[in-house]
Amino acid sequence: MGVDIKIEHLTKKFGSQLIWGDVSLTLPAGEICVMLGPSGTGKSVLLKTIIGLLKPDQGSVVIEGVDIASCSEKDLYEIRKLFGVLFQDGAMFGSMNLYDNVAFPLREHTRKSESDIKKIVMEKMEMVGLIGAEYKLPGEISGGMRKRAGLARALVLDPEILLIDEPDSGLDPVRTSFINQLFVDLNAQTDATFLIVTHDIHSVRVVPDQIGLLYHKHLAMFGHREKLLSSDEPVVRQFLNAQTVGPIGMSEEKDADELAAEKDMELPPLPPIALQLEPSNGIPRKRQRPPGEWCRENGVVPPPGSFTADAEHGVASAGVATAEATAVAGVPPIQ
């Protein structure tokens, strides 16, 4: 399960307004990818382009040999069956209970009997922890439950690709952690390719295998989590660590005077790279790589204290833990 999405030289404009240009990246089959970027950089537009709701001006999005950007309506209809989509608010029909909301794609797109539909709906409701809430209306449940119901609905057609737009918007930190764990568990169970758009820096540090950053009308960087989390590239470093010092300003880019004023400012050290969330059953996901492997293979020294339990809290542990962490990454321990 899970398929690659190969994006090449993708450009999107609305009229004369360039949203992003020449975006190229591959979302690897079965991996969890996160797309970041300041507000308005076109992350939602990218999701909509990947699923063929918006046509790019140039470039291709190839899934299973079909280019979404140029294929026929019939091919697009077929390819869309590979997708599950979770919109920001869960996009539930307000007058339908959760059971009917989750059953909706099965009733619309398949000829399954009501007893088969029931089996599938209940299986997905169980996966997202909503057994017992089937007959509640969307307006009667919390935002977190609505997201989980939206996720159950996105899963009913057994998608190979899950597109998820800002799952944490409106959720408190605890519920965000629950939904992050749910993504990791679902990825382990389904091996689907995940693309999540989020602003939540903590989620970015512990959930994805791959991270991308859209900035100033282009893809600033895309790659393995350890690449971005150890990067000194100013935009990546500033965004991933939520710093005010760096090229990103309040509205868009900082001007030359603002950047000159920051020239001699010392940046805080990069925080340690956290361990990725493990599936709840303790069995690693198929596409999960051992901590530190990317750094080791690419000769990159991770920030001190990386890949330890403390690293999740941004604490660079000294002594033994640091030595262990660097040993994991295959580089000499820091004395």
Binding site residues, ligand ATP, CB under 6 A:
14, 19, 37, 39-45
Q: Which three-class secondary structure state does DSSP give residue 299?
A: coil
Question: Based on CB atoms, which residue is closest to ligand ATP, 53 or 334?
Answer: 53
Minimum CB separation of residue 88 from ligand ATP in Å reads: 8
The token pair at 58 is 């140039």
Residue 327, phi then psi, degrees to nearest 5:
-65, -40
CA 66 to chain centre: 23
Nearer to ligand ATP, 41 or 190 (CB): 41
* Token pair 């140029």 in the structure block, residue: 70
Task: Give the chain's largest Cα–Cα span.
Answer: 68
Minimal distance in Å, beta carbon 300 to ligand ATP? 28
Please say which residue, 43 or 124, places its beta carbon nearer to ligand ATP.
43
The distance of closest approach from Cβ of residue 42 to ligand ATP in the complex, given in angstroms and rounded to an integer, is 4
In the complex, minimum distance from the CB of residue 166 to ligand ATP, in angstroms, rounded to a whole number: 6
Smallest distance from ligand ATP to CB 242, Å: 14
The nearer residue to ligand ATP, 151 or 213, going by C-beta atoms, is 213
| Minimum gap (Å) between residue 19 Cβ and ligand ATP | 5
E strands, 235-333, are none
Question: Which helix (H) or strand (E) is 19 found in, with range?
Answer: strand 17-27
Rg of the chain, C-alpha, whole Å: 21
Rounded Cα distance between 231 and 36, Å, is 15
Output the smallest distance, CB 27 to ligand ATP, in A.
Answer: 17
The helix/strand count (H/E) of the chain reads as 12, 10
Give the residue at shortest CB distance from ligand ATP: 39
- Compare residues 23 and 325 and give the one whose CB is closer to ligand ATP: 23
Q: Is 13 left (phi over 0), alpha (psi -120 to 50) or beta?
A: beta
Nearer of residues 43 and 285 to ligand ATP, judged by Cβ: 43
As measured in angstroms, the least distance from the Cβ of 34 to ligand ATP is 13
Task: Tell me whether residue 48 or residue 296 sits nearer to ligand ATP (CB atom).
Answer: 48
123 near 152, Cβ under 8 Å? no
Cβ–Cβ < 8 Å for 59, 95: no
Q: At closest approach, how far in Å is the CB of 46 from ligand ATP?
A: 7
Sheet holding 32-36, edge to edge: 83-86, 161-165, 193-197, 32-36, 210-215, 218-224
Amino acid letter, 44:
S
Specify the residue, 43 or 225, whose C-beta has the smaller distance to ligand ATP. Answer: 43
d(CA 2, CA 190): 8
Q: Residue 16 or residue 281: which is nearer to ligand ATP going by CB? A: 16
Q: How far, CA to CA in Å, does 183 sit from each of 95, 131, 154, 256, 280?
A: 27, 18, 12, 41, 11
Single-letter amino acid, residue 122 = M
